[in-house]
Structures are given as structure tokens and as C-alpha cells.
Amino acid sequence: MQKRKLGKSNLEVSAIGLGCMGMSFSYGPPKDKQEMISLLRAAVDRGITFFDTAEVYGPFTNEELVGEALAPFRGRVVIATKFGFELSGSDHRPGAAGLNSRPEHIKQAVEGSLKRLQVETIDLLYQHRVDPNVPIEEVAGTVKELIQQGKVKHFGLSEAGVQTIRRAHAVQPLTALQSEYSLWTRTPEKEVIPTLEELGIGFVPYSPLGRGFLTGKIDEKTSFDSSDFRSTLPRFTPEALKANQALIDLLGTIAQRKKATPAQIALAWLLAQKPWIVPIPGTTKLQRLEENIGAVEVKLTTDDLREIESAAANITVVGARYPERFEQMTGR
């Protein structure tokens, strides 16, 4: 497996990471724990060294799963987790109580994550969403203290806007930004990616396969269980799925020529954008894990990239990424 460095930080990880959320949360009922432990260990065997989780996934159960599965590989893998949601309150849906990045809450969250992940230091700690009620300087200052105490190694933000990125970075240098980025969500290209390049911050795209859509396995006839959060997303209504099929056709055409799959082309496209981009596709199946890892071997030429670019320019993606309440939490 090829390695990549996240920005100027020298944090070296596998060129493709593994998003672990769906193993416990969000995409239907939680999967069988032993099966997921085997999958996580299979990922390590195949060269993946970068694993992504968060306190809110479950809540808590995903960190526990990742901690148990990766315990035998301490020092060989990089585990990223996140803080920033209020997890108390009467509504027990994860994060329903809103955001909380107050310093004392961050410190509490980190103690919990360290225990669940069974580690002495968190390799990469992200603020999950920007909290408008807490100045980002205060958040960065708190993480800086945790770094000085040896509880955290690297600091990251998720779905933050460029002003926030700059302000945080001035207090405690950021190693990575994690935001949604793929052929059907290209918002970061305008301002975010140039800012990351300028400051030497790595980029970790989540949902690099468009929550499964870019694999070509979903169409307007696909129905989602109510425990699958895609059932609430504007971009996953039958009308939007039908309208967005043109992207799949484009990936399919190139995939055939490259003897690859649409998912591999979608990931190879991301890898080709910048050498400091590390996508973290999630999966619960070994064959998909192997397919995603295979994307690293797919070489897109400048002609291929130009062709994707000009075809994609004529495709308008239909539907918002999130319902409005969640959309408001991005880009701040």
C-alpha cells in the first residue's frame, strides 16, 4: 500500500484510509461485532494504517469496536476520532442535543475516547463540527494543551470554512481537514483546497463514494430502511438518484476502459487531485474493502482527468447533501 503525508505535519498514513462509522451507526442496524473486528484486522493485513471513528458514532460503540479490533496493532496504525457533539439530553439520537466544543467538554470527551480506543494518545483529534458558540481560538487552545499533555498528537477540523481554518491554524497548526469531497460534492475546490495547500494542511475526504452512490450499485429503485440515514437525505430521493445517474455513466465508461470499477475510478480521481489527499471510504464488506484498496493501483492519465473534468462540468448534481439542520453545521 502506498503511503501519503497529511500536509506538512509528517503524519504518514496509507493512501486510502477506512471510515468506520457505518459498522455501528447510520447505515442501517449495527453490524455483527466479531465480523467487524475481523474486517478491521483484514484492513491492517492489507496495508491500511488510517482508521476514522468518532465519539458520536453509536454513540461510543464505534470507538469501542475500533479500540478492541486494533489493540494488537498499537504503534502500527493511526486512529482519528472526533469531539464536538452534546451527547446528553432527553433526545437520545446521537448529536440531537446539538454542538458542544466548550473546553471542559473537549477534555471530558478526550478522556472517554482514550479509554474506549484503549490508547494513551489520540493520533488525530478532529472537532466534528464548528461550534458557533465557542471561539475557534479557544477550541484550538484546548487541543494545544492536550497535545502538550501527550493525550493528543495531531489536531484537525471537519467541515470548517476557510476563516475558521486560518484562525485555528494560527493557534495550533492543523494536520488535516476532513470534509465531504467527491465527484458529486466538489464544494471544497473553490476556497478550501487552495487554503489547505497554502497552509500545508492535509485533506481527508469522507463519503468519497457519495455514500455508496458512486459505486453504481444504487438507482432510483433502491429503497432505504428508516434506520439508514440516507432515507432522510435530499440527494437520495428517487428523483435525485435518477437525475444524478449521468455521473455513474461517466464513471462506468472510464472504468471499462481501465478495467476497473466505478468506485475505483471515483477514488483514483480523488487521489489524483493532490498528493496530500487521503480518502476514507467506509465499508462493512471484505470484497468492497479490497475493491477500494485496488483504487490505489488505478492510474488516471492527464487525458483521463481532462475527460472526467469536461464531462462532469456538464452534469448538474441534483439535491442537497443534508437536510437543512445539518447543512447549517457545515462551512462555518
pLDDT 10s digits, 66-87: 999 999 999 999 999 999 999 8
Q: What is the pLDDT of residue 91?
A: 63
pLDDT tops 70 at residue 132: yes
Q: What is the pTM of this model?
A: 0.97
In sequence order, which residues have a C-beta less than 8 Å from that of residue 124 and are 6 or more positions away?
11, 78, 79, 80, 81, 153, 154, 155, 156, 175, 176
Q: For the segment 23-73, what is each residue's pLDDT rounded down to a tens digit?
A: 999 999 999 999 999 999 999 999 999 999 999 999 999 999 999 999 999
> 262-273 and 302-313 helices cross at what angle (nearest 10)?
100
pLDDT tops 70 at residue 95: no
Q: What is the pLDDT of residue 94?
A: 63
Q: What is the pLDDT of residue 97?
A: 72
Amino acid letter, 261: T
Q: What is the pLDDT of residue 88?
A: 76
Q: What is the pLDDT of residue 61?
A: 97
- Name all domains of the chain by residue range, CATH numbers in brackets: 3-327 (3.20.20.100)
Q: Which residues are catalytic?
A: 57
**pLDDT mean over 167-174:** 98
**pLDDT mean over 243-250:** 94
| Look-up of cell digits 496495508 | 47
**pLDDT mean over 154-174:** 98
- Cα–Cα distances in angstroms (integers) from residue 206 to residues 19, 88, 270, in the given order: 8, 26, 11
Q: For the segment 195-217, what is each residue's pLDDT rounded down to a tens digit?
A: 999 999 999 999 999 999 999 99
In sequence order, which residues have a C-beta less than 8 Å from that of residue 53 and are 6 or more positions away?
20, 21, 62, 63, 65, 66, 79, 80, 81, 82, 117
